[in-house]
Amino acid sequence: MNFTTKVVHSQLKGTEEIKSKTTPIYQTSAFSFSSLEELEGFYEGKSPYLYTRTGNPNPDELGGLVAALEGAPAGVAASSGLSAILVGILSVVQAGDHIIAAEDLYGGTFHMLKEELAGFGISTSFVDFTDRDAVEEAITDSTKLLYSETVTNPFMRVEDIPAMVEMAKEHGLTTMIDNTFATPFLRKPFTEGIDIVAHSATKYIGGHSDVTAGVVTGRQDLVDKARAKIVNLGANLSPFEAWLTCRGAKTLALRMERQALNAELLAVELRRHEWVKHVYYPNNLSEKGHGAIVTIELEPSADMSTFFKSLGWIKIIPSLAGVETTVSYPLGTSHRSLPEEAQKKLGINTHVVRISLGIEDPEDIKSQMLSAISKCHEI
C-alpha cells in the first residue's frame, strides 16, 4: 500500500468475536489467566500479554504502525520521545562506550547525552556533522554510535544521511537518527541505511498536542534490546495515550502535506521581509515537502517582548507540531539547558524564534505573523 493508505489501515487485528472497527483501548494493568498452565504459556511465548508494563495491544499497535511507515521490521512505543531516544541509545552502548553526536541537536537530547549518560560512564563528543574530517577525528576505539537528527532543531539543517551511513560502515559503527521533524511521510531514514530511528510521537505522529509518546524503530535485534530496556526501566507508554496517538496518526499524511506547504509559503514571505535577519528553512528534505518548521532570527532592533505579545491567536508554547500554528523561544525553552558557549556557537540568541506551522489558511498565518513583526519595530 502507498503511505496515505497504509497510515489509515495499519491497525492491530484482533481475533475476538466482536469485530470492532477500531482497536479497543486495553485500559488494564494486567491480563488474567484461567490456569497455571495458561500463565506459564506467557513465559513460553504462547501468549503475548501478562502485565501492561511488559506489553499491551495498544502500544504494540503504535510501535508496529510507525515501523510499517518507516519501512522497518520492528518498532516499540515508549513513554516519551526522550525515553525512546534513551532506550534506542542504550540498545547500542553501555558504560565505557563513546558516542559521536551532531552538535546542533534538540537541547533535551544534548543534556541527556552530556550530563545524564555521562553519569553512567557513557561519553559523548559533539561534532559538526557537516565536517566529515572532524567526525572521523573524533572516532576512538570505544566509539559505538553516530547520532543525529534528520532535520536538526532549531535551525533546520538536513542531515546527509548517505554520508553518515557510509562513514559508520567504514568504521564499524551503529547509526541512530531522530526523525521527529521529518516524519516518515517526508523521509524514511531506515530505508537509507540508518540502524535505529526514534520519534517523539508527541509531535506529528500524534499530531493534536494531547499525548506524550515516543517510538523506536529499526533493526529487529536493536528494537528487541530497546523493548527490554523499556520493560526493565519502566519507560512503557500507557494504553490510552497509545490509542490516542494511533488515532491521530491516521491523518499524518494529510496534516504534513498541508503544514509543509504552509511552512514553505511563510518562509518565502519572510525571506523578503526587511526586519527578518535570517530564515532557516530547507529545500532538500524530500519531494513531498521540507517540513513544517520555520525558524527565524529577527533584526536586533526588534522588541521581542512586544513581538510575543502581538501574536494574537498564535500560541506561545515550549514544543511544536499539532494542527495549530505556534511559536517557541529556543533560548528560553528547548535549548535553555545548553551551555552558553554552545548556544553562541549554534547562533541561538534572544532574537531567534521557532515557528511550527499548523493547518490554518496560509493567508491568515502570514497576516498574523507579519503584524507581530511590524508591531515589534514600531517606535
Do 25 and 84 have their domain in common? yes
Q: What is the DSSP letter of 18?
A: S
**Closest of 104, 151, 187 to residue 281, by C-alpha:** 151
Do 307 and 354 have their domain in common? yes
Domain-terminating residue out of 233, 249, 265: 249
Within a domain: 321: yes
Q: What is the CATH number of the domain that holds 54?
A: 3.40.640.10
Within a domain: 311: yes
Within a domain: 44: yes
Within a domain: 56: yes
The whole-number pLDDT of residue 309 equals 96
The whole-number pLDDT of residue 15 equals 53
**Cα angle at 57 between 55 and 58, to 5 degrees?**
105
Q: Which structural domain, as residue segments, surrounds residue 359?
A: 252-375
Domain-terminating residue out of 232, 249, 266: 249
Do 298 and 340 have their domain in common? yes
Within a domain: 65: yes
**Closest of 211, 191, 206 to residue 72, by C-alpha:** 191
Do 294 and 330 have their domain in common? yes
Do 223 and 259 have their domain in common? no
Evaluate whether 184 touches 192 at the Cβ level (below 8 Å): no
Within a domain: 41: yes
The whole-number pLDDT of residue 16 equals 59
Q: What is the grid cell recorded at 365?
A: 498565518
Indicate the helix (H) or strand (E) that contains 101. Answer: strand 98-102
Domain-terminating residue out of 221, 249, 277: 249
- Which residues, at least 6 apart from 339, have a Cβ–Cβ distance to it below 8 Å? none
pLDDT under 70: residue ranges of the chain: 11-18, 378-379
Do 261 and 350 have their domain in common? yes
pTM of the model: 0.93
**Other C-beta atoms lying within 10 Å of the C-beta of residue 250:** 17
**Closest of 221, 232, 133, 115 to residue 174, by C-alpha:** 221
d(CA 357, CA 324): 7
Within a domain: 204: yes
Q: What is the CATH number of the domain that holds 367?
A: 3.90.1150.10
Distance between alpha carbon 369 and the CA centroid of its chain, in Å?
A: 25
Number of domains observed in the structure of the chain? 2
Q: What is the DSSP letter of 236?
A: P
Q: What is the grid cell recorded at 206?
A: 500524534
- Which residues, at least 6 apart from 218, have a Cβ–Cβ distance to it below 8 Å? 70, 72, 74, 75, 88, 176, 190, 194, 195, 196, 197
φ/ψ bin of 14: left (φ > 0), alpha (ψ from -120 to 50), beta (otherwise): beta
d(CA 155, CA 153): 5
Q: Which is it for strands 352-356 and 293-298: parallel, antiparallel or unpaired?
A: antiparallel
Do 257 and 345 have their domain in common? yes
Amino acid at 358: G
SS3 assignment, position 25: coil
Q: What is the grid cell recorded at 230?
A: 523499556
Do 24 and 8 have their domain in common? yes
SS3 assignment, position 315: strand
Q: Which residues pair with 353 in a beta bridge?
A: 296
How much is the mean pLDDT over the chain? 95
Three-state secondary structure string covering 51-68: ECCCCCHHHHHHHHHHHH
Within a domain: 162: no
221, 223, 225, 231: CA torsion to nearest 10: -150
Do 298 and 236 have their domain in common? no
Do 226 and 257 have their domain in common? no
**Cα angle at 179 between 2 and 349, to 5 degrees?**
140
Do 371 and 268 have their domain in common? yes
Do 256 and 370 have their domain in common? yes
* 133-141 long-range Cβ contacts below 8 angstroms, 24+ apart: 135/100, 135/167, 136/167, 136/171, 138/100, 139/100, 139/171, 139/173, 140/98
Q: What is the grid cell recorded at 150?
A: 534528520
